[in-house]
Amino acid sequence: MYTKREEKELYDLSKSLLAGKDKRAPKEVAADLRRVITYHEWKYYVQNDPVISDYEYDLLFKQLQELEAEHPKLKTADSPTQRVSSDLSPEFETVRHKVPMLSLDNSYNANDLYKFDEQVRKLTGEKHIIYSVEPKLDGGSIALLYEDDVLVRAATRGNGREGEEMTPNARAMRSIPLRVAFTDKGIQQAEVRGEAVIRKDVFHKLNKQRQEEGLILLANARNSATGGLRTKDPSETAERGIEAYMYQLAFARDKYGKDAIPIFRSHHESMDLIADLGFRIVTKGRKLCKDIEAVIAFCETCEQERDDFPYEIDGMVVKVDSFALQEKCGSTSHHPRWAVAYKFKARQATSKLLNVEYQIGKTGTITPVAKLTPVALAGVTVSSVSLHNEDFITGKDLRIGDQVLVERAGDVIPYIVKSLADLRDGSETPIKFPKKCPSCGTKLIRAEDEAAWRCPNASCEAQVLQRMIFHVSKDAMDIDGFGHKQIIRFYELGWLHSIADIYNLDYDAIAELEGLGEKSAHKLRTSIEKAKQNPISRLLHSLSIHHLGKRASSLIAARVKHVLELKDWTMENLTDIPDIGPVVAKNVLEFFSEPKNIRILERMEGLGVNMHQTKDDKPPQIKHGGPLDGKTILFTGTLSQMTREEAEALAANAGAKNISAVSGNLNILVVGEKAGSKLKKAQGLGTVEILSEEEFLKKVKT
What are the catalytic residues? 136
Q: Which residues are CB-neighbours of 380 under 8 A, at least 6 positions away?
A: 408
Q: Decide if residue 137 touches ligand IVH (CB under 6 A).
A: yes
Question: Taking the complex as a whole, how short is the minimal distance between the CB of residue 223 and ligand IVH, in angstroms?
Answer: 15
Per-residue three-class SS string for 485-525: HHHHHHHHCCCCCCHHHHHHCCHHHHHHCCCCHHHHHHHHH
Strand stretches in 81-187, DSSP E: 94-96, 106-107, 131-137, 140-147, 150-156, 162-164
**Which of 136, 204, 306, 467: binder of ligand IVH (CB under 6 A)?**
136
Query: Interface with ligand IVH includes 247 (CB under 6 A)?
Result: yes
Q: Is 467 in the site for ligand IVH (CB under 6 A)?
A: no
DSSP three-state, residue 695: helix
Choose between 295 and 584: whose C-beta lies nearer to ligand IVH.
Answer: 295
Q: x/- contact string, 277-316, with ligand IVH (CB under 6 A)?
A: ----------------------------------------
Amino acid at the residue 392: F
Size of the site for ligand IVH (CB under 6 A): 15
Residue 141 vs 439, nearer CB to ligand IVH = 141
Dist CA 67 CA 173 (whole Å):
43
Q: Can you tell me the distance from the alpha carbon of 358 to that of 107, in angstroms, rounded to the nearest whole number?
A: 40
User: CB-wise, 157 or 680, nearer to ligand IVH?
Assistant: 157
Distance in Å, CB of 702 to ligand IVH, minimum: 41
| Helix/strand/coil percentages in the chain, nearest 5 | 40, 20, 40
Interaction of residue 337 with ligand IVH, rule CB under 6 A: no
Minimum separation from the CB atom of position 169 to ligand IVH (A) = 17
CA 358-587-364 angle, 5° bins: 10
* Binders of ligand IVH in range 19-38 (CB under 6 A): none
CB within 8 Å of 517: residues ≥ 6 apart: 511
Beta carbon of residue 272, minimum distance to ligand IVH (angstroms, whole number):
15
Q: Indicate the DSSP class of residue 444.
A: P
Nearest approach in angstroms of CB 335 to ligand IVH is 7
Closer by beta carbon to ligand IVH, 102 or else 622: 102
Residue 466 touches ligand IVH, criterion: CB under 6 A: no
Residues 6+ apart with CB under 8 A from 162: 88, 94, 95, 96, 97
**Smaller CB distance to ligand IVH: residue 175 or 359?**
175
- Quick one: which segment of 131-139, 412-420, 520-528, 608-616 binds ligand IVH (CB under 6 A)? 131-139
- Only one of the segments 43-51, 91-99, 334-342, 475-483 lies at the binding site for ligand IVH (rule: CB under 6 A); that segment is 334-342
Q: What burial class does residue 499 get, using C-beta atoms within 10 Å of its C-beta: 0-12 exposed, 13-18 middle, 19+ buried? A: buried
CA distance 137 to 159: 19
- Whose Cβ is closer to ligand IVH: residue 86's or residue 103's? 103
Min CB(200)–ligand IVH separation in Å: 16
Residue 102 is a binding residue for ligand IVH (CB under 6 A): yes
Among 202, 341, 378, 700, binds ligand IVH (CB under 6 A): 341
Q: Which of residues 147-206 bind ligand IVH (CB under 6 A)?
A: 157, 195
What does the CA dihedral 402, 405, 406, 407 come to, rounded to 10 degrees?
-170
How many CB atoms within 10 Å of residue 425? 9
Angle at 590 between CA 585 and CA 594, to 5 degrees: 150
Amino acid at 365: T
Residue nearest to ligand IVH (CB): 141
Toward ligand IVH, which CB reaches closer, 317 or 416?
317
- Partners of residue 443 on adjacent β-strands: 436
339 lies in the site for ligand IVH, by CB under 6 A: yes
Which residues are registered as beta bridge partners of 331? 336
Residue 269 phi, psi dihedral angles, 5° rounding: -65, -40
Q: Which is nearer to ligand IVH, 196 or 539 (by Cβ)?
A: 196
In sequence order, the β-bridge partners of residue 371 are 355, 384
Residue type for 399, please? Answer: R
- Applying CB under 6 A, which of residues 81, 124, 141, 389 lies at the interface with ligand IVH? 141
Q: Which stretch binds ligand IVH (CB under 6 A): 75-83, 336-344, 428-436, 598-606?
A: 336-344
Interface with ligand IVH includes 103 (CB under 6 A)? yes
- Contact segment (CB under 6 A) with ligand IVH among 27-35, 133-141, 370-378, 444-452 equals 133-141
Give the C-alpha separation, 702 to 700, whole Å.
6
Binding site for ligand IVH (CB under 6 A): 102-104, 134, 136-137, 141, 157, 195, 247-248, 317, 336, 339, 341
